[in-house]
Amino acid sequence: MSSQPKPQILLTRQEIEAVVTRLAAEIRQDYQGKCPLLIGILKGSFMFMADLIRLLEFPLEVEFIRLSSYGRGKESSGKIKVVQGLRSQVRGRDVLVIEDIVDTGLTISFLLDYLRKKRPASLKLCALTDKPSRRQIPVTIDYLGFTVPDKFLVGYGLDWDEKFRNLPDICVIE
């Protein structure tokens, strides 16, 4: 295997757990008595989704959508398309999008526009991390975990060239 960059811990698993617990409490308050459709963006959100929904003690449904935007490196190609779509009806549903990181905002803006056209009853965004220094399109994040510096992050679902998703902490690679 070729030489790999060494990840340095930025957010520990304990810090992540505390923030996921806080986000779950905020979401529980707002969605009590509803049956929202949580839509995770693959692949980065899978671990966050799994931890978050275990703390949401009310009826909900889970969907995943796969978008392509990034190539194999660290930079977005800027062109986004749906690679694997939704099976659930979005029309009339309370939709909560679950994202790992909002960077330039291009991916999430595309997805929110795509979903809005399907006429959900409500549409909100929950993002574990936000890198506002790189934003190209304004994005409203209804439930935000961490604001992070302009570094490339891996772990807890986030990858670099498909590697490091399995790290339990969120780490920086140079």
The number of C-alpha atoms within 13 Å of 20 and in the hemisphere containing its C-beta is 22
150 catalytic? Reply is no
Choice between 32 and 133, CB closer to ligand IMP: 133
Q: State the binding partner of 63 from ligand IMP, Mg ion, none, CB within 5 to 8 A by kind.
A: none
Among 51, 100, 103, 130, the one annotated catalytic: 103
Where do contacts with ligand IMP occur on this chain (CB under 6 A)?
41, 44, 69-70, 76, 99-108, 152-153, 158-159
The mark string for 25-64 relative to Mg ion (x by CB under 5 A, - otherwise) is: ----------------x--x--------------------
Q: Which residues are catalytic?
A: 103
Residues that bind Mg ion (CB under 5 A): 41, 44
